[in-house]
């Protein structure tokens, strides 16, 4: 049963992250997830300072708010300062992270408070942290419900705004001219990214989230030239990564998150080599065949 819960949580996280990541890589904002994972630190500290508590919900709210602020600042520097998106991401998350460190050293030096509280979840503990009702009934692992709800929110968001997200990602100027607000959809998307990443950090750990945000969509991008199939392949890859990553970890008795990230990387390497579209081995074979024809 433990295996089932872990794989289910992994799949939920990889589906939410992968779907949102597809939009991020097409908007050339792939590093936003990485940025959020660092920039939420001051949010965690401030949430603690205000509430005086270290329970995960308070921390999650603090982290979530900072996640949205981060994406807002990235866009603000990009728009108003005419800074490239990557530079804007780099500046924003480093200073927010530094601000968090200063806040900790000044106000919370005596408390064991760091990113571990929220960021470094461990997917192997998913089956242990159960959700128990007041009457003592065990419903199931908490992480399954959290990541499951997030996945439903993400899928409904994409279902509702499919064409708006598609158009504002491809051609924002045209979208604005015909009356579709680029800013609104940008912030909705970034809000969804913050929600998905912060909620998943706590359940499965930051490294796995950052990997699942980018690797499956990047792999799918190499495998297809159509957008809808790209989303579907991303989802399938996410599930495949969760299952095979788990059993790889079991067989080598290692970290589950590490194994899942490794599988994600391996699948990307396979696609890079053998993709029918522009895999380098396939291209090489085609060129050889052409040479033979000509000689």
Partner 1 sequence: MIQQVEDPAVEVHDLTVTYHKKPVLWDIDLTLPKGAIIGIIGPNGAGKSTLIKAIMNLIPHGSGYVKIFNRDIDEVRDKVSYVPQKESVDWDFPASVMDVVLMGRYAKLGLFKRPRKADKEVALDCLKKVGMDAYKSRQIAQLSGGQQQRVFLARALAQEADIYFMDEPFAGVDAATETAIIELLREMSEKGKTVVVIHHDIQSAMEYFNWIVLLNMRLVASGPTAQTLIPSLLEETYGGKLTLLAEVGNLMQKTEFTGRDKR
170 interacts with partner 1 by CB under 8 A: yes
216 interacts with partner 1 by CB under 8 A: no
CB 241 within 8 A of CB 10: yes
What Å distances lie between residue 219 and 91, 136, 269, CA to CA? 28, 44, 8
286 interacts with partner 1 by CB under 8 A: no
Task: Collapse the DSSP code of 226 into the 3-class scheme (helix H, G, I; strand E, B; otherwise coil) and give the result.
Answer: coil
171 interacts with partner 1 by CB under 8 A: yes
Select from 178, 253, 291, 292 the one that contacts partner 1 (CB under 8 A).
178
List the structure tokens of 280.
Answer: 């380098």
Stretch that binds partner 1, among 13-21, 134-142, 224-232, 244-252 (CB under 8 A): 224-232
Number of residues lying near partner 1 (CB under 8 A): 26
How far from the centroid of its chain's Cα atoms is residue 151's Cα? Answer: 12
> What is the nearest approach in angstroms of partner 1 to the Cβ of residue 97?
30
CB 96 within 8 A of CB 41: yes
- Distance (Å, whole) CA 232 – CA 3: 24
Select from 52, 173, 251, 293 the one that contacts partner 1 (CB under 8 A).
173
227 interacts with partner 1 by CB under 8 A: yes
164 interacts with partner 1 by CB under 8 A: yes
Select from 110, 179, 291, 293 the one that contacts partner 1 (CB under 8 A).
179
Long-range contacts of 225-229 (CB under 8 A, 24+ apart): 225/277, 227/166
Task: Collapse the DSSP code of 139 into the 3-class scheme (helix H, G, I; strand E, B; otherwise coil) and give the result.
Answer: strand
CB 38 within 8 A of CB 99: no
176 interacts with partner 1 by CB under 8 A: yes
- Distance (Å, whole) CA 260 – CA 208: 7
Select from 56, 86, 224, 247 the one that contacts partner 1 (CB under 8 A).
224
Stretch that binds partner 1, among 37-45, 100-108, 139-147, 155-163 (CB under 8 A): 155-163
Residues near partner 1 (CB under 8 A): 26, 82, 160-164, 166-167, 169-171, 173-180, 221, 224-227, 230
């Amino acid at each position: 049963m433990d295996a089932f819960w872990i794989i289910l949580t992994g799949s939920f996280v990889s589906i939410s992250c992968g779907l949102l990541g597809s939009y991020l890589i097409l908007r050339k904002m792939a590093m936003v997830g990485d940025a959020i994972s660092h920039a939420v630190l001051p949010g965690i500290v401030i949430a603690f300072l205000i509430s005086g508590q270290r329970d995960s919900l308070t921390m999650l709210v603090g982290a979530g708010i900072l996640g949205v602020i981060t994406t807002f600042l990235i866009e603000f520097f990009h728009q108003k300062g005419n800074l490239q998106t990557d530079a804007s991401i780099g500046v924003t998350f480093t200073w927010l992270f530094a601000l968090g460190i200063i806040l900790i050293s000044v106000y919370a030096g005596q408390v064991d408070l760091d990113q571990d509280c929220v960021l470094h979840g461990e997917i192997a503990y998913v089956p242990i942290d159960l959700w128990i009702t007041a009457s003592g009934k065990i419903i199931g692992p908490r992480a399954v419900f959290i990541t499951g709800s997030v996945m439903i929110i993400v899928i409904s968001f994409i279902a509702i705004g499919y064409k708006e997200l598609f158009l504002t990602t491809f051609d924002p100027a045209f979208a604005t001219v015909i009356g579709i607000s680029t800013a609104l959809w940008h912030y909705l998307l970034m809000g969804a990214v913050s929600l998905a990443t912060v909620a998943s950090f706590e359940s499965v750990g930051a490294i796995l989230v950052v990997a699942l945000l980018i690797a499956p969509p990047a792999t799918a991008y190499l495998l297809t030239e159509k957008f809808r199939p790209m989303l579907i392949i991303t989802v399938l890859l996410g599930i495949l990564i969760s299952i095979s990553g788990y059993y790889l970890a079991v067989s080598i008795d290692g970290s589950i998150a590490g194994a899942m990230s490794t599988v994600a990387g391996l699948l990307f390497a396979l696609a890079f080599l053998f993709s029918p579209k522009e895999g380098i081995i396939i291209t090489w074979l085609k060129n050889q065949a052409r040479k033979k024809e000509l000689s």
